[in-house]
Structure 1
Amino acid sequence: MTAEVPARNAALSLRRGLRLLEHVADRTRGGAASVSLTELAAELGTAKSTVLRLTAPMLETDLLRRTPEAGFTLGLGALLLGQSYLEGIDLRAAAAPFLRRTAEATGLTCHLVVPDGTDIVYVDKVETRGTVRMGSRIGNRLPMRNTASGKAIVAFGEPELLTQVLAVPAVAMTDQTITDDDRWRQEVERTRARGYGIDDRENEPGIRCVAAPVLDHANQVVGAMSISGLASRFPAAAVRELGEGVVRTALEVSVALGSSSAGLALARTASSGGVR
């Protein structure tokens, strides 16, 4: 029994320390440059001596650091912990529940792709019982130029990617494929403006697709998610509604990956009742 008392005390101190660390994080996220000893004691309802005791090991491990104004702010150790967590998030695992939900809600095929040079590579695919089977397979590679996902990645990716894609000769997969460089550049601009790319029977005859970019914790484009189906089941009149839905879902995936800009965009979407 006597050995349990120190253990309980240690657990209590750990909980208090974690609460203090979270409080400093909340305050700095809210715009505070640092939080003073007096503020921490008052806001946490504890003595200054307790705050000093709890912060001592955090200062030693650089989870917290002292500022010139004698306040506390997050240290490099906290950043490294967060970075390690974010780097451990797997894109495919993070996106999987969102792809399943979308496939079930729309009855269309959902894809997750990643960029590789000027191509896209399928890394996940979800179909439901009522979905018309698509010929795409995980591991398949397609030119960005012929796909809605490629347009979304180019529209929101690094500027030089557009030049790289246009440097690759266009191959007409159908009579709808956009092979003219100027027209394709304009389509990328429209994709950027509305938030999602459209493949209107350009890659496969009779198949329509919309796609939106997925961002990581550094707010960089790491992929795209799309929904595809027969044009007869995915009419042109439904493109806007389904496209905006894909944008919202791609933002949710991006938030799961730690994207701050996606979080802000999703909050604006919720408050305005729309995507834009």
Structure 2
Amino acid sequence: MNTEGADSRNSSASLRKALALLAVVSEQPGSAEGLSLGELTRVSGLNKSTLLRLAAPLLEESLLERDHETGRFRLGHGCLRLGQSYLDGLDVRTVANSELRTLMRSTASTCHLVVLSGQDVVYLDKVEDEATVRMASRVGATMPAYCTAVGKAMLAYSNEEVVSSVLAGDLLPLTDRTITDPDLLRAEFAAIRRRGYSIDDRENEPEVRCVAAPIFGNDDHVVAAVSVSSLSSRMTAKRVREVGPMAAETSLRISSKLGSRRATARLAELGLASA
């Protein structure tokens, strides 16, 4: 009999059960106050002796805590330590790249990852389908925030200090469709929040339409935006309504990978698996 193989399988099974136990504690309503031993056995389907055996190493590593007075279990500070180590290692460009490429293939259009810097946006990444029309944008370039889809997507979720600073600047018309009225831009920001994505309808370049959606970090503050750009002859009004939700879903997936709870919750509401 191969006892080594049996021990390995038993260890793997125990590890899976222990991880499932952590998930149960984190996902149950009222988990901040903790769950009693009886509640954990009921929800997890484990008997008390098995549950206590699995909990022992989790308690030792502070992944679980047990209140000395009530005996209730809750997540321990070790989870925070692991989570922070994960978040510290995240880079938005690295995290977003695979999702950006998937979006590019789905839309057959150029996709960008952009951050806000003062009153401008800065292009961090660009992926394009070389079989279609190529965009003139380049990584490292800057553009005014108020007249780009990415800029408007980020401003729609920025604090008032940031928004006021941008709207107080020189809102020059880059095309005959550029919105330069601060009140109209604020109304546009409200519309973006309602539909989940922004639109640049030839406001930055005369023959280009873009849609964009905001990306949120682990503190649920906007940190970047993702966009889809194409010539207006290809990105028709109908196509905008199709691509907009695709960009919004991509931004939610990237945000979820970055640790955004609002994005993960929104994906769940839409019935979509989180990243």
More deviation in 138-147 or 182-191? 182-191
Distance in 1 between the 2:80 and 2:234 partners? 47
Alignment CA distance shift 1:51-1:269 (3 Å): closer
Whether the aligned pair in 2 keeps the contact of 1:20 and 1:44 (CA below 8 Å) is no
Distance in 1 between the 2:63 and 2:150 partners? 40
Secondary structure at the aligned position of 1:146 is classed as coil
Secondary structure at the aligned position of 1:134 is classed as coil
Matches within 5 A, 1:97-112: 97-112=98-113
Matches within 5 A, 1:125-136: 125-136=126-137
Matches within 5 A, 1:33-44: 33=31, 34-37=34-37, 43=44
The alpha carbon displacement at 1:91 in A equals: 1.4
Using the aligned pairs only, state the percent identity: 44
Distance in 2 between the 1:133 and 1:82 partners? 39
Alignment CA distance shift 1:18-1:107 (3 Å): closer
Stretches of structure 1 lacking an aligned partner (at least 5 in a row): 272-276
Count of aligned positions: 266
Find out whether 1:83 has 2:84 as its counterpart. Answer: yes
Among 16, 20, 23, which residue is 2:21 paired with?
Answer: 23
The alpha carbon displacement at 1:169 in A equals: 1.2
Distance in 1 between the 2:95 and 2:148 partners? 23
Residue matched to 1:64 = 64
Secondary structure at the aligned position of 2:270 is classed as helix
The alpha carbon displacement at 1:182 in A equals: 1.8
Q: Deviations over 1:55-111 (max 9, x none)?
A: 445434422211231122111111121122123222112221221122122221100
Secondary structure at the aligned position of 2:169 is classed as coil
Alignment CA distance shift 1:11-1:76 (3 Å): farther
The alpha carbon displacement at 1:149 in A equals: 0.6
Matches within 5 A, 1:33-182: 33=31, 34-37=34-37, 43=44, 45=46, 48=49, 52=52, 54-67=54-67, 68-182=69-183
TM-score by length of 1: 0.84
Residue matched to 2:247 = 246
Distance in 2 between the 1:25 and 1:222 partners? 28
Alignment CA distance shift 1:130-1:79 (3 Å): same
Stretches of structure 2 lacking an aligned partner (at least 5 in a row): none
Whether the aligned pair in 2 keeps the contact of 1:24 and 1:72 (CA below 8 Å) is no
More deviation in 235-244 or 10-19? 10-19
Distance in 1 between the 2:55 and 2:185 partners? 57
Distance in 1 between the 2:102 and 2:41 partners? 45
Whether the aligned pair in 1 keeps the contact of 2:197 and 2:214 (CA below 8 Å) is yes
Whether the aligned pair in 1 keeps the contact of 2:37 and 2:48 (CA below 8 Å) is no
Whether the aligned pair in 2 keeps the contact of 1:17 and 1:55 (CA below 8 Å) is no
Find out whether 1:228 has 2:229 as its counterpart. Answer: yes
More deviation in 52-61 or 221-230? 52-61
Distance in 1 between the 2:184 and 2:38 partners? 62
Distance in 2 between the 1:219 and 1:47 partners? 38
Alignment CA distance shift 1:181-1:45 (3 Å): closer
Distance in 2 between the 1:9 and 1:69 partners? 35
Residue matched to 1:274 = none
Residue matched to 1:197 = 198
Query: Match for 2:266: what amino acid?
Result: A
Query: Match for 1:62: what amino acid?
Result: S
CA RMSD of superposed structures (Å) = 2.7
Distance in 1 between the 2:167 and 2:11 partners? 59
The alpha carbon displacement at 1:125 in A equals: 0.5
Alignment CA distance shift 1:141-1:82 (3 Å): same
Query: Match for 2:180: what amino acid?
Result: T
The alpha carbon displacement at 1:270 in A equals: 3.5
The alpha carbon displacement at 1:127 in A equals: 0.6
